[in-house]
């Protein structure tokens, strides 16, 4: 059976046969010569009918793309997570490890394929992750104190629901530096004590931090990281499904995701070798200006750490609708040399054209891509590819089980 016997992307305008070379002339940026065979097999390119291979870091090192980061964007249920799980497994074969921020709790089968268990963070559970943990100090020359300072400067505005004032920013930085230098095992509680000790100027951020620490998720991030967490596991998947389900306030969910991401970023920065860091459902975090700016800064720091960062989004309008964060997300988009674009609603097209620079021909395809098909923009080249799921991968990529009433994430979840 051919790789595109179903869900063929929009053939509306391609009613004739032509060689790849002539198609390239007719449809520049759509019908591309192959990227070559650097990387792992993804599927068959609908135009050249040749296999499409991909390896973000190797292609970056070979000068094929300007950075190894990946934006994955597409409608609900069109195959974004499936692609990342399959890519994670396939890249592992060529030496990558994966760090996976999993807000929906879908990585248990993937973890099984790696022979590990996901980390499950839940209110009332035993697992603790300390985003200020000194043990996680960078093995790659980044400044861990600065990373913690940036984290607090990002999450406090979310907790406060307003930007930090200049005096608050200065004191937050000072306090984090003091805490990291003086405490053998710094925690959020220590930062709170430092802010509270500075009196009236930082009374608002201190109170906001206090509220978070004493809220439903605070205790999970306000203690030393649990012993026994294997920081070197080839797949470190952090399952937040239970936790995010119990958090009703949006700002609590956002801060929780940012703290979880910060802990994972610290893992990324200490780990050697090629890595894929998947932030699934990243749109939620990127809706808030301070969180989005921090996230982008982390990506930039990752440049030194052989990491391909992946942000998974539904649609750009999710980001624009919030508080004007589009400005900072634009930077993030331009830091993604690879953009994998699944089907998008017609209303999203102007934003795709504006922010991703899609041509009218590419837009035409994106509007009518079938499930699991995606337009891959790799640098300046474009391909239309459906992930070819291997038999052994079905259990890993299937998320429709929840709709069939199956328990996806193991009985304990």
Ligand X SMILES: Nc1ncnc2c1ncn2[C@@H]1O[C@H](COP(=O)(O)OP(=O)(O)OP(=O)(O)O)[C@@H](O)[C@H]1O
Interface ranges with ligand X (CB under 6 A): 74, 76-82, 314, 372, 386-387, 389, 397-400
Count Cβ neighbours within 10 Å for each residue of 14-37 and write b for 16 or more, e otherwise. Answer: beeeeebeebbeebeebbbeebee
364 interface partner picked from ligand X, Mg ion, none, CB below 5 to 8 A per type: none
CA distance 266 to 139: 10
Instruction: Give least dist CB 203 to ligand X, A.
Output: 40
Specify the DSSP element, H or E, that contains 53: strand 51-54
Q: Considering Cα of 186, then 298, then 342, then 387, what sign does the dihedral take?
A: negative
Contacting range for Mg ion; rule: CB under 5 A; set: 78-86, 127-135, 147-155, 313-321 = 78-86
Instruction: Give least dist CB 279 to Mg ion, A.
Output: 12
Q: Which is nearer to ligand X, 333 or 372 (CB)?
A: 372
Instruction: Give least dist CB 338 to Mg ion, A.
Output: 18
Q: Which is nearer to Mg ion, 354 or 394 (CB)?
A: 394
Binding-site string for Mg ion from residue 1 to residue 20, where x marks contact by CB under 5 A and - marks none: --------------------
Q: Which is nearer to ligand X, 95 or 394 (CB)?
A: 394
Give helix 289-302 / helix 326-334 axis angle, nearest 10°: 20
Instruction: Give least dist CB 357 to ligand X, A.
Output: 23
Instruction: Give least dist CB 280 to Mg ion, A.
Output: 6
CA distance 91 to 114: 12
Q: Which is nearer to Mg ion, 81 or 344 (CB)?
A: 81
Instruction: Give least dist CB 69 to ligand X, A.
Output: 18
- Residue 376 phi/psi, 5-degree rounding, is -100, 120
User: Helix H segments across 247-375?
Assistant: 250-270, 283-286, 289-302, 317-320, 326-334, 349-356, 360-368
Residue 138 binds to Mg ion (criterion: CB under 5 A):
no
Nearest to 152 by CA among 185, 179, 181, 182: 179
Instruction: Give least dist CB 183 to Mg ion, A.
Output: 38
CA distance 290 to 292: 5
**Can you tell me which of 81, 145, 173, 344 binds Mg ion, judged by CB under 5 A?**
81
Q: Which is nearer to Mg ion, 81 or 307 (CB)?
A: 81
Q: Which is nearer to ligand X, 81 or 328 (CB)?
A: 81
Q: Are 55 and 38 in contact (CB under 8 A)?
A: yes
Count of residues of this chain found to bind Mg ion when the rule CB under 5 A is applied: 1
Q: Which is nearer to Mg ion, 59 or 111 (CB)?
A: 111
Binding residues vs Mg ion (CB under 5 A): 81
């Amino acid at each position: 059976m051919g790789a595109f016997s179903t869900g063929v992307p929009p053939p509306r305008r391609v009613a004739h046969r032509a060689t790849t070379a002539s198609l390239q002339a007719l449809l520049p940026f759509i019908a591309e010569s192959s990227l070559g065979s650097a990387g792992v097999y993804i599927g068959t390119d609908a135009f050249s009918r040749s296999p499409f291979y991909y390896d973000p870091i190797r292609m970056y090192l070979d000068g094929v793309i300007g950075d190894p980061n990946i934006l994955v964007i597409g409608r609900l249920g069109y195959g974004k997570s499936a692609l990342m799980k399959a890519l994670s497994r396939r890249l592992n074969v060529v030496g990558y490890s994966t760090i996976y921020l999993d807000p929906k709790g879908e990585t248990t089968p993937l973890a099984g394929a790696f022979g590990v268990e996901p980390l499950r963070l839940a209110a009332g559970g035993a697992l603790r992750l300390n985003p200020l943990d000194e043990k996680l100090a960078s093995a790659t020359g980044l400044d861990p104190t600065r990373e913690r300072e940036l984290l607090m400067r990002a999450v406090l505005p979310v907790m406060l629901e307003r930007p930090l004032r200049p005096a608050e920013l200065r004191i937050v930085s000072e306090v984090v530096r003091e805490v990291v230098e003086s405490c053998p095992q710094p925690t959020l509680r220590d930062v709170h004590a430092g802010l509270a000790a500075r009196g009236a100027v930082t009374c608002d951020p201190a109170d906001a931090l206090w509220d978070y620490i004493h809220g439903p998720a605070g205790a999970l991030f306000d203690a030393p990281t649990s012993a026994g967490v294997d920081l070197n596991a080839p797949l470190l998947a952090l399952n937040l499904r239970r936790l995010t389900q119990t958090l009703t306030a949006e700002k609590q969910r956002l801060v929780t995701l940012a703290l979880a991401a910060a802990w994972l970023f610290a893992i990324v920065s200490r780990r050697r070798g090629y890595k894929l860091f998947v932030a699934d459902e990243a749109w939620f975090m990127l809706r808030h200006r301070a969180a989005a700016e921090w996230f982008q800064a982390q990506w930039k720091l990752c440049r030194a750490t052989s990491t391909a960062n992946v942000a998974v989004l539904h649609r750009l309008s999710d980001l624009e609708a919030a508080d004007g964060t589009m400005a900072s997300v634009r930077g993030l988009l331009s830091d993604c040399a690879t953009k994998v674009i699944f089907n998008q609603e017609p209303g999203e097209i102007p934003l795709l054209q504006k922010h991703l620079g899609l041509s009218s021909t590419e837009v035409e395809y994106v509007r009518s891509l079938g499930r699991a098909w995606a337009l891959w923009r790799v640098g300046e080249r474009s391909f239309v590819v459906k992930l070819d799921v291997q038999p052994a991968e079905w259990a890993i990529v299937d998320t429709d089980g929840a709709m069939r009433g199956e328990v996806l994430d193991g009985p304990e979840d």
